[in-house]
Amino acid sequence: MLAKSFIAKFEPRLQKLIGAARRELRRRFPTAVEVVYDNYNFLVFGFCTTERPSDCFVSVAAQAKGVVLSFYWGVRVPDPHHLLLGSGNQNRFLRVPSVEMLRRPEVLELLDAAVAQSKVPLSPQGRGYTLIKSISVKQRLRR
């Protein structure tokens, strides 16, 4: 699978974390479309309600420094536990030191809120798939 070759560019510790985070989100959102971008700054696995990037509700984004859980419309996600980082007009994120973080109740609340606010609802049935959207020729070092 092409996505695995993207992950292989990272150091072993991050390879494991990226893979585990993807599996965790796929289990939680089995009908989501996983849109992949291997761009200059980040390797991104977006979990979306359609193939459109603007319909992504959460992404796993990785670079040599680590992995984050990125909420595309994070500024609108209720965050009563004040977990989300970032100060831009749209995106918010969480640093992911381990996959266990994705199982914490307060993180699950954020994920549920992100899905609930999606313009296009997440399909309640069927099976999601992976779509490689873009691969940048020029990239920052992944290790």
Question: Which pLDDT score is estimated for 14?
Answer: 96
Domain boundaries, the chain: 2-131
Q: Is the per-residue pLDDT at 139 higher than 60? A: no
Distance from the first to the final alpha carbon of the chain:
21
pLDDT band with cut points at 50, 70 and 90 for residue 137: low
Whether the predicted model's global pTM rises above the 0.85 cut: yes
CB 7 within 8 A of CB 134: no
pLDDT band with cut points at 50, 70 and 90 for residue 5: confident
Q: What fold is seen in the domain 2-131? A: Aspartate Aminotransferase, domain 1 (3.90.1150)
Question: Which pLDDT score is estimated for 140?
Answer: 58
Integer Cα distance of 51 and 42 in angstroms: 19
- Amino acid letter, 64: A
DSSP 8-state assignment for residue 140: -
For residue range 68-77, list pLDDT tens digits in order.
999 999 999 9
Residue 94: C-alpha distances to residues 2, 6, 8 (Å)? 26, 22, 23
